Structure 1
Amino acid sequence: MSDLVLREQRGAAAHLILNRPDKLNSLNVPVFEALDAHVKAIAADPSGVAVVVLRGAGRCFSAGHDLGDIAAGEKLPEPNYQSKVIERITNLPLPVITAVHGHCYTGALELALSGDLILAAESAKFADTHAKWALTPVWGLSQRLPRRVGSAKAREMMFTCRTYSGREAEAMGLANTCFADDAFEAGIDAWVAEIAANSSFSHAANKRLLDHTDGLPLPAGLAHEVYRGEGVGPDMRDRIAAFAARKG
């Protein structure tokens, strides 16, 4: 596979690392093709992977969509290719963490929002700058951002093109938590360990439950949970037996 995205196994987590540090991991078609290959490989064989961590090499997560590529005219493998790759990340039956340090601007923010959880370093800088360039989102930001931070805050970010720190992202709910830069790696590992200790069956089923009921009226959502939930996982008896043994 291309070295534009690296895959590293760290305990129970597969880290997918944007690896274009000389360009601040700016996103072009080859980067998305490399990312897509890794995501498809994990979806086809998730053995040994409890969590996926999406992150960037070098100084930042990503400075965003490569404006040089936009100006030159991108050649996509298929229409709406980048949005489809982001959707495949979102639809992985595993918890996905986006780990953000440094820049996370515009297209990079759209990619970051594919994660179920966003963990930020204090050095993180989040912004949506589509309006600076007379662009509009096409990779999902207009739908995912307000669902994460609320419509009013999403409008603020989109209209002002302001930059928000890791701590500000945590305060608005964009990031689940923010770590001091020197605690970032340990913080990621701790979250992975906490998630990986729980049932992969439940994680996959709960992701589907949340996705399938998003936006439904409460009665419809409750009916979906009660009558279409996936019930008991194959590891339930072993988990309860292990708990009982510890109590005995």
Structure 2
Amino acid sequence: MTERILRLDENGLCTLVLNRPEKHNALDNAAFEELNHYLRLLAQDNGKVECVVLRGAGKGFSAGADLAALSGLTTPLPPTYKPMVVEALSRLPMPTIAAVHGVCFTGGLELALGCDFIVADAGTRFADTHGKWGLVAAWGLYPRLARRIGVSNAKRLSMTAREMNAEEALRVGLVDLMAPAGQLDISLSDLVAQIRKNSGFSNRAVKQIYREIEGLPLDQALAHTHYRHPGVAPDFTARVAAFTKG
């Protein structure tokens, strides 16, 4: 492989790194093929990986799609391939975090929106520049962005190609947590630690339930959570015992 994506594992935390810093982590076919490879492995994980972080090497998260790859200079992938990869990211069973800094533009924003949480350095800039190039997003940006920040905010971002700073992104709900400038790793580590204090069984079940009940009327959502309740974690007894002893 070309190492467009690096996988780093440490004690149940998996970090996937967009690794094309000389091109601002522009996303080409090779990047998607490698990301798909790792996502397939993670989708089959048996519970050893408790959390996945997606981040970019160098000065930014990602400037978006590699325009050369879109202009016919490389062999195209099937049109459903890239949106399928972003969907695979969104459907990973464990919690996922996009840790963004620098620029998070267009295709990079589509990847970040595929994660459960977005943590951003205070200096991060967000944009959807598809219209600037005469393109229309095809990897799932519009429905995911509209669900995060509302249709009006999403249309304004997409129809103007303007840049949104991290403070505004936090205010409208695009960003879940904004780290002080230069302290992204600290804020990221804190969030990861909070997530991993919970049972991995519970976190996976919660993620699945939220996905399954999205858009359901309340009575159907309540019925779904009752009849599809997964039970308790294998370490439930040990967790309660440790609490009572403490």
Residue 45 of structure 1 and its aligned partner are, at CA, apart by 3.0
Whether contact under 8 Å (1:12, 1:192) holds in the other structure is: no
**Residue in 2 that maps onto 1:85:** 85
| Superposed counterparts of 1:78-157, under 5 Å | 78-157=78-157
- Separation of aligned partners in 1, 2:99 and 2:46: 20
**Residue in 2 that maps onto 1:242:** 242
- Separation of aligned partners in 1, 2:142 and 2:244: 47
- Separation of aligned partners in 2, 1:227 and 1:153: 37
| Superposed counterparts of 1:180-195, under 5 Å | 180-195=180-195
1:4-44 CA-to-partner distances (Å, cap 9, x unmatched) read: 11111244321100000010000011001111111112222
Residue 181 of structure 1 and its aligned partner are, at CA, apart by 2.6
Q: What is the total number of aligned residue pairs between the two structures?
A: 246
1:57-95 CA-to-partner distances (Å, cap 9, x unmatched) read: 001000001112111255344441111111111111100
1:109-132 CA-to-partner distances (Å, cap 9, x unmatched) read: 111101000000012110111122
Unaligned runs of 5+ in 2: none
Whether contact under 8 Å (2:59, 2:102) holds in the other structure is: yes
Kindly report structure 1 stretches of 4+ aligned residues shifted beyond 6 Å: none
Whether contact under 8 Å (1:97, 1:119) holds in the other structure is: yes
| Residue 9 (structure 1) aligned with residue 13 (structure 2) | no
1:169-190 CA-to-partner distances (Å, cap 9, x unmatched) read: 1111101011123211111111
Residue 46 of structure 1 and its aligned partner are, at CA, apart by 5.0
Of 149-158 and 54-63, more deviation after overlay is shown by: 149-158
Secondary structure at 1:181 match in 2: coil
What amino acid does structure 2 have at the position aligned with 1:237?
A: T
1:196-246 CA-to-partner distances (Å, cap 9, x unmatched) read: 111111111111111111111111111111122223222211111111111
Change (3 A) 1:207 1:74: farther
Secondary structure at 1:55 match in 2: strand
Aligned Cα RMSD in Å? 1.5
**Residue in 2 that maps onto 1:28:** 28
| Residue 66 (structure 1) aligned with residue 61 (structure 2) | no
1:120-159 CA-to-partner distances (Å, cap 9, x unmatched) read: 0012110111122222111011111111111221122112
What amino acid does structure 1 have at the position aligned with 2:108?
A: A
Unaligned runs of 5+ in 1: none
What amino acid does structure 2 have at the position aligned with 1:223?
A: A
Residue 47 of structure 1 and its aligned partner are, at CA, apart by 5.0
